[in-house]
Amino acid sequence: MPAHPAFQPGKVAVITGGADGIGLAAARHYQSIGMQVCIADVSQEKLDQARSQLGEVLAVTTDVASMADMERLRDSAFERYGQVNVLMNNAGQAQHNTSWTEHAAWRATLETNLWGVINGIHSFTQAMIDLGEPGVIVNTGSKQGITTPPGNPAYNASKAGVKAVTEALQHDLRNTEGCQLSAHLLVPGFTYTGMVKKFLPEKPDGAWTPEQVVEFMVASLDKGDFYILCPDNDVTREADNKRMAWAIGDLIENRPPLSRWHPDYQEEFDNFMNP
């Protein structure tokens, strides 16, 4: 299958959270096919390290929670390259929180993970449409934004918001006359990124590498997929499908919320997963 027309030599990709993990792996891939790359990250130190690996890239210190920073990122990319064909709203963070504690962690997580995506959309979308060329916006979500497991409600809420925002964006783009821009939701599986390395110094066997995620993403975009739901070495697509079906079943069947983790429903869930 031919590559998506936005992923061609000379085209330009802007990646937030581009100094580490999936963002850095994406930058390497885009460079390997002859694209121009702009990486953005809140950490100047990480940007310097990434630039030393990547070589000729535009690196812009950016706090995605700031609309002014995102507009400055857009202006820097257009001034340098004259176009942006691929935007990856990929920056993210996770902090410990519960439903009624760590209010600051809630705000910081939502500001980065959800408002960072919203700011990216508002900063770049019209300018990318105006180019009149095929382009893509990829927003990084999470399976936790779909099945919302207990343990990190702020992260779950932020990624559930990314899913809703990206679905609405794609609807609006496909109903905009003459628009050649499309939106896509990247949903990584268990991936060994910087956030995971803080807790696990060595890559678990079950985790994918960021490079595997990017390879899967590019193949999915070539097929025109909106939902880019990545498996990993532990969880198959079939298992993901069943978990998502069970989660929406809580609403349909009027079960308690998060019944997958409710002791009264454990046997029923196990039988559902392994009939």
1 has a pLDDT exceeding 70: no
In this structure, the answer to whether residues 142 and 163 fall within a common structural domain is yes
What are the tokens at 72? 């400055």
Residue recorded with tokens 């890559």: 203
**Model confidence pLDDT, tens digit, residues 239-249:** 999 999 999 99
How far from 88 is each of 12, 37, 229, 246, CA to CA, in Å? 11, 11, 16, 30
Please identify every residue annotated as catalytic. Answer: 155
**Model confidence pLDDT, tens digit, residues 98-127:** 999 999 999 999 999 999 999 999 999 999
What pLDDT, on the 0 to 100 scale, is given for residue 135? 98
The answer for residues whose C-beta is within 8 angstroms of residue 46's C-beta and 6 or more apart is 19, 20
**Model confidence pLDDT, tens digit, residues 42-98:** 999 999 999 999 999 999 999 999 999 999 999 999 999 999 999 999 999 999 999
In this structure, the answer to whether residues 128 and 263 fall within a common structural domain is no
The more confidently predicted of residues 193 and 153 is 153
**Model confidence pLDDT, tens digit, residues 160-178:** 999 999 999 999 999 999 9
The answer for residues whose C-beta is within 8 angstroms of residue 241's C-beta and 6 or more apart is none
In this structure, the answer to whether residues 45 and 86 fall within a common structural domain is yes
DSSP lists the bridge partners of residue 41 as 61
What are the tokens at 193? 């990124």
What are the tokens at 94? 């996770």
199 has a pLDDT exceeding 80: no
In this structure, the answer to whether residues 90 and 131 fall within a common structural domain is yes
Cα dihedral across residues 23, 28, 32, 34: positive or negative? positive
Residue 115 belongs to a domain: yes
In this structure, the answer to whether residues 96 and 134 fall within a common structural domain is yes
3 has a pLDDT exceeding 70: yes
Q: Residue 93 maps to which CATH number? A: 3.40.50.720
In this structure, the answer to whether residues 144 and 246 fall within a common structural domain is no
Residue 192 belongs to a domain: yes
| Parent domain of 252 | 236-275
How far from 50 is each of 21, 24, 249, CA to CA, in Å? 11, 7, 43
pLDDT confidence bin for 204, thresholds 50/70/90: confident
- Domain count of the fold of the chain: 2
**Model confidence pLDDT, tens digit, residues 13-33:** 999 999 999 999 999 999 999
In this structure, the answer to whether residues 25 and 148 fall within a common structural domain is yes
In this structure, the answer to whether residues 230 and 263 fall within a common structural domain is no
Find the mean pLDDT for residues 250-255.
Answer: 98
232 phi, psi to nearest 5 deg:
-150, -165
DSSP assignment of the chain: -PPPTTSSTT-EEEEETTTSHHHHHHHHHHHHTT-EEEEEES-HHHHHHHHHHH-S-EEEE--TT-HHHHHHHHHHHHHHHS---EEEE--------BTTB-HHHHHHHHHHHTHHHHHHHHHHHHHHHHTTS-EEEEEE--THHHH--TT-HHHHHHHHHHHHHHHHHHHHHHTSTT--EEEEEEE--SB--HHHHTT-SS--TTPBPHHHHHHHHHHHHHHT-SEEE---SS--HHHHHHHHHHHHHHHHTTPPTTGGG-GGGHHHHHHHH--
